[in-house]
Structure 1
Amino acid sequence: MHEAARRAAERAARDSYGRLLAFLAARTRDVAGAEDALAEAFASALKSWPEQGVPSNPDAWLLTVARRRQTDAIRRRQTSKAGEAHIQLMTEELEAAGTSPDAIPDRRLALMFACAHPEIEAGMRAPLILQTILGLTAIDIAAAFLIPPTTMGQRLVRAKARIREAGVPFAIPEREDLAGRLDAVLDAIYAAYAKGWTEIGDTAAERLADEAIWLGRLVVSLLPDEPEAKGMLALMLYAEARRQARRDTAGAYVPLEQQDIELWDEKQIMAAEALLREANQAGPTGRYQIEAAIQSAHVARLVTGRPNWDSVVALYDVLLGLTHSPVALLNRAAALAETEGAEAALASLDAIEGDRRMADYQPYWAARGHLTALAGRKEEAHEALTLAIGLSTDEAVRHYLIGQRTALQDG
């Protein structure tokens, strides 16, 4: 019973965290306070559910406990009649919502746009969304954005305080104010998907990927005229369509070029293609449309068997012009090796060789190991692959790279 109750609390934390947090924070605009209240509610669940049993409505139970903690904290800060009236109104709203999970309004998208408000530092908007909506730690977020964890944690605290201080509204902005805030929302959703995509075999990570796709669909449904939202959803669906092909029957990692395309999900690929066509017809081309177009080109190449690497390199050139991203340059180098050879690809990496963020970025060293091996520079390849192996968190990828290094040693 104890183990079942613990699993139920953990499942509720995974499945309901963002929805409950968004609801709790919507009226007070105190994200940090809502996080504290919800954390105490989950701690109470872990303590009481094993003894008293899992409630029939876990979300309502958690919301009730969190609401009590939240109102107690507000009472300690507000003693005026106006403050008491505010607490009473909030309490009534929360009690009404707590009677059923279906009655809890889903305010996650509103919270996402609050986190992307101009009052929040531009570079912290997407990280803030990842923590508030999906509950990622500062360490996880720091890795995704190539920022030291301590620095990320401090900036997240300041950003949450700014929402409260500035009275940032929890609402989807008007059309004229949308452009400057949508990018951060899309970046956060895709960063969440990328984390879930990378950590194959991890149930929590796969659930994170599913959540990201759900949020992507939500944004597209609410903002159907935004081409970049469709581009991002298409990009995620192209990747998701290949999920089953990324491991063989023994669980070994299978790179894109060696995947069995019969294992790809054709329905998801067709949905991605349709979204990309709609996005390209709707307006100016952005980052996600280009990245989705690159994935479409890879799909076409592997399905038809006709090389189109020149087109892939050209698309990466456009992407680099838009983003100046070292990750885009890294991926471009892998494509360039197919058209101009490994030495040309390695030369293109010179632009980011001195970038300190690459020092512990596993894909950089994996790509460098692959390219130097192709170029016959065995000593450099061995060193790069060794670093990539050490930085790998995925055991299947680690074993694949060890195999690459062994093959290098064997000639």
Structure 2
Amino acid sequence: MPRRQRGSVMALLAVAMLALVAMAALALDGGHLLVNKTRLQNAVDAAALSGAKTLSQVQGSAEAARLAREAAMDTFTRNANATGNGELAAALAADSGFVVITQSASVYGPFSVAGPVAGSPRYVRVSVPDYPLTGILWGVLSLFGGGAVDKAVAAIATAGPSPTSPCDLAPVMVCGDTGAGQHDPANGLYWGFRLGDLEVLKTAKNNTSDIGPGNFQLLDFGSGGSTVREQLAGGGTLCPEIGNNVATKPGNTAGPSVQGLNTRFGDYSGGGLSETDFPPDLVVDYNKLSNGNPALEPNLDTNQINYLGSGGGVVSSDAHGNLSTAGGTALFDYNDWKSRTATCVDNPSAAGCRNGGVFERRMLKIVVGRCSGTDGGTASVPVLGFGCFFVLQPMDQQGGSAWLLGQFIQECEGDDLPGPNPATESGPQIIQLYKTYIDDSRTPSSDS
């Protein structure tokens, strides 16, 4: 009957309008949620990476936890203040506890604001548990949900070191010990090397290496002396992996080796290398004689390093990597360099910090090879792994006598691609993001 159907169109229109408004709310507020969730996740990711990077640079310093927190917070703030992030900047300014930064010695935790209770912090976690957002048509969606619901997003990120096969390799090699029990990283033993061990990384004229006659521990990464010069300066591009073979390079190549390596100490005499392309380290101090010459010299007959200065004698390392002479004279070593580097990272203008210096230029990433069976000349050597060596002093060329002396360090900064596992091995490490775990049962967070 016509009279009974009057008003039905209005009812249908009212329902349709409500559905249209709900769809508009879903599009506008849902899009707003997704955009701000992405922006927030990018900000916490960048902050966690920045904090973990800083932590690796100042590891061992009493101020490590503070410096990592400050770096993470600074990076987050810069992202919040970037163009288009006005809402995030306003939320950050309105809430002093908006960002939570914690640290741990393990990627699985426990994480705390002050850093781990035991051990050195290595992993940084940055989280924003509640980022309230402005509602556009949010109230309409809340009606469908049965009541008022806050419009907010959250994000969390965890970053820390992971082993990597480096590309910025120096073209030198040391021979690893493949004997039983000589590779036990959990107990600080890496193919026969322990923290602080002194090693001749390149022998000199009239000396022989374990590779065989005519070899001076150089690798063939390209075309002759110019490649050796550039790659000892830090221009390596080859990325061999464990299990690959590398070719040795016969010949001393003393001049190019000295010219390349010494750029790490700010010496650019000869070779045409510039400070712009190959800056020095943040800290260029080393043990030197009164005339300024390097004070350490190898005795390859005894496989020992001698100190030529006052109170000299054979140099030895304790279990923590501290170097001293037989007479008890303490020497400038990796630990001194690391402490000074942490100061320079915190305050680049501090005394002893090289202007324009770059972190870890004195750390060489080199091949640890399986040298057994080589007999001189050009040889193909399997890669056991990659070692980190702190360069103790510049190379001093006297005729063909140009030694490269290093101190074995368990970890250093690497490049190339990260792996899926946290750092448990010695060698080059790269900072990467990890899945965040929210409890000791390794339950993954849905916000990372």
Q: Taking structure 2 as the reference length, what is the TM-score of the superposition?
A: 0.27
Q: Which has the higher helix share?
A: 1
Higher relative contact order (CA 8 A, sep 6+): 2
Q: Taking structure 1 as the reference length, what is the TM-score of the superposition?
A: 0.28
